[in-house]
């Protein structure tokens, strides 16, 4: 595994909950840090890991921060299964580190935007202990054909917040809806949102995320 660095923000003490939030392709852990004060979630540690730099095939081998390689954004494009599985272990290590600090798995949410959202879904739905929830923003389910057999029974009913912009031309809403339908078919409880935006985040979405996190952390 890689030793990934991360930005950490604690909202208030004592810390009872954790959110591990994964950025999109080419960004870093600072990308979503400004959202934390807008969420109004007390007693929570937000961890924003920085993905490693790697060459991206889709971008002619240009190196940037990425959780795994991308060969394209169409459904038929090859997927970097090996890269996904390596990062799954690394994100799992962040979860385990929170547990080591006294946060129960049921009080940990894994979140992500775009490629980070795909990584969040890939990791959380396979994690062997029940988590509090998953935030999947402007994203998709990677390795769709393997989820049914690899999904963790412990997280079969984990709440999923799934949101997408209707004007997204990076990962289209139609691509996201295919993933949404897959998760519905597998009977995951999904809170689905659409917003009139591009490949981004908006104020209404932030408010809805806040509501989801408050509910996830209050649930037993």
The C-alpha atoms of residue 32 and residue 115 are separated, in whole angstroms, by 14
Catalytic residue annotation: 114, 168, 199
Is residue 1 one of the residues assigned to a domain? no
Is residue 165 one of the residues assigned to a domain? yes
According to DSSP, the residues that pair with 46 across neighbouring strands are 9, 19
Q: How far is CA 6 from the centre of its chain?
A: 15
The C-alpha atoms of residue 90 and residue 4 are separated, in whole angstroms, by 8
Domain with 149 in it: 6-218
Domains of the chain: total: 1
Is residue 33 one of the residues assigned to a domain? yes
Q: Up-side HSE of residue 48: CA atoms within 13 Å toward CB?
A: 17
Is residue 138 one of the residues assigned to a domain? yes
Output the tens digit of pLDDT for each of the chain's 220 residues: 678 999 999 999 999 999 999 999 999 999 999 999 999 999 999 999 999 999 999 999 999 999 999 998 777 789 999 999 999 999 999 999 999 999 999 999 999 999 999 999 999 999 999 999 999 999 999 999 999 999 999 999 999 999 999 999 999 999 999 999 999 999 999 999 999 999 999 999 999 999 999 999 984 4
Q: Which residues of 181-191 are buried (b: 16+ CB within 10 A; e: fewer)?
A: ebbeeeebebb
Q: Which residues touch 206 (CB under 8 Å, ≥6 apart)?
A: 35, 38, 39
Residue (of 132, 123, 133) closest to 161 by Cα position: 133
The enclosing domain of 56 has a CATH number of 3.40.50.1820
Q: Are strands 53-56 and 62-65 parallel, antiparallel or unpaired?
A: antiparallel
Is residue 207 one of the residues assigned to a domain? yes
Q: At what angle do helices 81-100 and 115-124 cross, to 10 degrees?
A: 70
Backbone angles phi, psi at 5, to 5 degrees: -85, 160
* pLDDT value for 190: 98
């Amino acid at each position: 595994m890689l030793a990934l660095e991360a930005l950490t923000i604690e909202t208030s003490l004592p810390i009872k909950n954790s959110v591990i939030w994964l950025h999109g392709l080419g960004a870093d852990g600072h990308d979503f840090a400004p959202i934390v004060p807008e969420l109004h979630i007390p007693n929570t540690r937000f961890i924003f890991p920085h993905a490693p730099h790697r060459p991206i095939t889709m971008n002619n081998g240009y190196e940037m921060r990425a959780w795994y390689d991308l060969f394209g954004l169409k459904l038929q494009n090859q997927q970097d299964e090996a890269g996904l599985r390596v990062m799954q272990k690394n994100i799992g290590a962040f979860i385990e580190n929170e547990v080591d600090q006294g946060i129960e798995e049921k009080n940990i949410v894994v979140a992500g935007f775009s490629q980070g959202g795909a990584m969040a879904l890939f990791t959380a739905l396979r994690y062997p202990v029940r988590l509090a929830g998953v935030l999947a923003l402007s994203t998709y389910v990677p390795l769709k054909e393997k989820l049914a057999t690899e999904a963790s029974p412990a997280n079969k009913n984990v709440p999923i917040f799934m949101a997408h912009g209707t004007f997204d031309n990076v990962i289209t809403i139609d691509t996201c809806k295919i993933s949404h339908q897959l998760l519905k078919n597998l009977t995951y409880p999904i809170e689905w949102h659409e917003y009139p935006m591009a490949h981004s985040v908006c104020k209404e979405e932030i408010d809805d995320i806040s509501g989801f996190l408050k509910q996830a952390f209050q649930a037993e």
